[in-house]
């Protein structure tokens, strides 16, 4: 690897600062509920957003900013309300939030992104939002505490903050990339996912940044599923401010490859953290498909298995119910021959071949249960039909998922 993981989060990149605090979006709660990201040098931005036809107001706002070609200076994030299905009022509240932050940071509203997550349908409490923005601007800082508080402030049903940082060299210049994300339920991204923010001090051409992000999102966030529900607010935003001083990457080549590797590892790491922290999850469930005839088939197969409610419930029960895996492959719409399929389970407790040529391999159920008892469980599937592979990430389906979602709004 040409990249090195380091401590920290979004502020490891030069010029980026952040903070998270409680603005009081939902009265009676005590959690931090707003965060801000700032870059002292305006950043080239790329974004991928939900393909849900029902798009939240902040998604509409951010898409237009990303399309406009403007550089961005800040992002304002709130939890509690998703600002989705909120009509004209919702769009106007998103714009007002950007405008307020812009006026305090000496930017234009069009240089400020906004992001919301929480209950669909309710209007943002603008008094609390305004209060939050006014407190966040003077609090912006760099370092571990700032990174941690921001990552914490964007959580909803998440049980832990999710952040990552890498260092790499481009043309002799040390560059950085840091990011954070949130997401636990309504996770089945379609070109994006619930709120992910990446900052880098590398310089890269906007069109190239967008292309790279879109490609990598297909292999990372788009391969994660917690519950099959594609959110109205999914957004992945990457900001590149160029303060590392590298020669701007304008074409493919070794610098591009290094940058792409850093972005891939960042998004992959954060995707896996979302899967592992799926609502009610006790396990990270990773499914790798090898030997597919096309990349598309590999992706369809891996994602269908990781999304199957029955497979997920069996993983929770540490039950090697491989029939459900073959069944989910069968309805995935991918092309393969069921009689050619091999399946193994792998975890820190060992590895076991469960299916050979589409039928039971005569394995030990006790050993299978032991393997499935680990906190990370992988299914390795070979369809012996070609050379393409894909990996998808999900989690188990548990009683706690039902608890969390039977009465989420109260």
Active site residues per annotation? 193
Helices 295-307, 322-330: crossing angle, 10 deg rounding: 130
Centroid of chain to Cα 337: 33
CB atoms near residue 104 (< 10 Å): 15
The sign of the torsion formed by the CA atoms of 401, 190, 57, 44 equals positive
Q: Is the Cβ of residue 209 or residue 314 nearer to its own copies in the bound state?
A: 314
- Least separation in angstroms between residue 328's CB and its own copies is 7
- Least separation in angstroms between residue 257's CB and its own copies is 34
Q: Is the Cβ of residue 106 or residue 331 nearer to its own copies in the bound state?
A: 331
Task: Please name which of 288, 183, 163 lies closest in space to residue 225, comparing C-alpha atoms.
Answer: 183
Q: Using CB under 8 A, list all residues that contact its own copies.
A: 51-55, 82, 84-87, 119-122, 185-186, 188, 190, 227-232, 307-310, 313-314, 316-317, 319, 321-324, 326-331, 336, 338-339, 355, 357-360, 397-399, 401-410
Helices 295-307, 309-316: crossing angle, 10 deg rounding: 60
Strand-pair partners of 285: 377, 394
- Least separation in angstroms between residue 278's CB and its own copies is 11
- Least separation in angstroms between residue 369's CB and its own copies is 10
Alpha helices, H only, 154-205: none
Cβ contacts of residue 67 below 8 Å, gap of 6+? none
Three-state DSSP class for 370?
helix
- Least separation in angstroms between residue 401's CB and its own copies is 7
Measured distance CA(391)–CA(20) in Å, rounded: 33
Give the pair of three-digit tokens for residue 221.
């966030």
Helix (H) or strand (E) holding 180: strand 173-181
Give the pair of three-digit tokens for residue 335.
């092309």
Size of the chain, expressed as the number of residues it contains: 410
DSSP state, residue 240: E
Q: Is the Cβ of residue 20 or residue 118 nearer to its own copies in the bound state?
A: 118
Q: Is the Cβ of residue 184 or residue 241 nearer to its own copies in the bound state?
A: 184
Q: Is the Cβ of residue 174 or residue 404 nearer to its own copies in the bound state?
A: 404
- Least separation in angstroms between residue 50's CB and its own copies is 8
Give the pair of three-digit tokens for residue 92.
């106007």
Q: Is the Cβ of residue 229 or residue 252 nearer to its own copies in the bound state?
A: 229
Three-state DSSP class for 378?
strand
């Amino acid at each position: 690897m040409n990249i090195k993981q380091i401590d920290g989060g979004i502020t490891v990149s030069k010029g980026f600062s952040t903070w998270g605090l409680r603005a009081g979006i939902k009265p009676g709660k005590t959690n931090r509920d707003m965060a801000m990201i700032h870059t002292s040098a305006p950043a080239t931005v790329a974004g991928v957003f939900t393909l849900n036809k029902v798009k939240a107001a902040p998604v509409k706002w951010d898409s237009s900013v990303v399309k406009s070609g403007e550089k961005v200076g800040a992002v304002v994030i709130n939890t509690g309300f998703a600002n989705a299905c909120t009509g004209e009022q919702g769009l106007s509240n998103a714009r007002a939030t950007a405008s307020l932050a812009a006026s305090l940071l000496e930017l234009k509203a069009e240089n400020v992104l906004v992001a919301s997550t929480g209950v669909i349908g309710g209007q943002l409490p603008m008094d609390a939002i305004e209060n939050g923005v006014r407190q966040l601007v003077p609090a912006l800082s760099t370092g571990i505490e700032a990174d941690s508080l921001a990552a914490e402030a964007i959580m909803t049903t998440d049980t832990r903050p999710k952040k990552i940082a890498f260092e790499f060299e481009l043309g002799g210049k040390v560059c950085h990339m840091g990011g954070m994300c949130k997401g636990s339920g309504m996770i089945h991204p379609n070109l994006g996912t619930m709120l992910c923010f990446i900052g880098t001090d590398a310089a890269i051409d906007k069109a190239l940044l967008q292309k790279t992000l879109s490609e990598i999102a297909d292999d990372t966030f788009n391969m994660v599923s917690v519950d099959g529900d594609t959110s109205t607010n999914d957004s992945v935003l990457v900001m590149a401010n160029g303060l590392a001083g590298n020669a701007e990457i304008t074409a493919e080549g070794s610098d591009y490859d290094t940058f792409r590797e850093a972005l891939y590892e960042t998004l992959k790491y954060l995707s896996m953290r979302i899967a592992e922290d799926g609502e009610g999850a006790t396990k990270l469930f990773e499914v790798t498909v090898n030997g597919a005839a096309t990349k598309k088939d590999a992706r369809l197969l891996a994602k269908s298995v990781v999304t199957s409610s029955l497979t997920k419930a069996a993983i929770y029960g540490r039950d090697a119910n491989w029939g459900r895996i073959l069944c989910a492959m069968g309805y995935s719409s991918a092309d393969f021959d069921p009689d050619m399929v091999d399946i193994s389970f792998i975890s820190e407790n060992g590895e076991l071949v469960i299916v050979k040529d589409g039928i039971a391999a005569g394995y030990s159920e006790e050993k299978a249960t032991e393997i499935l008892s680990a906190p990370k469980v992988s299914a390795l599937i070979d369809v012996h039909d070609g050379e393409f592979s894909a990996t998808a990430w999900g989690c188990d389906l548990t009683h706690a998922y039902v608890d969390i979602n039977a009465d989420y709004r109260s």
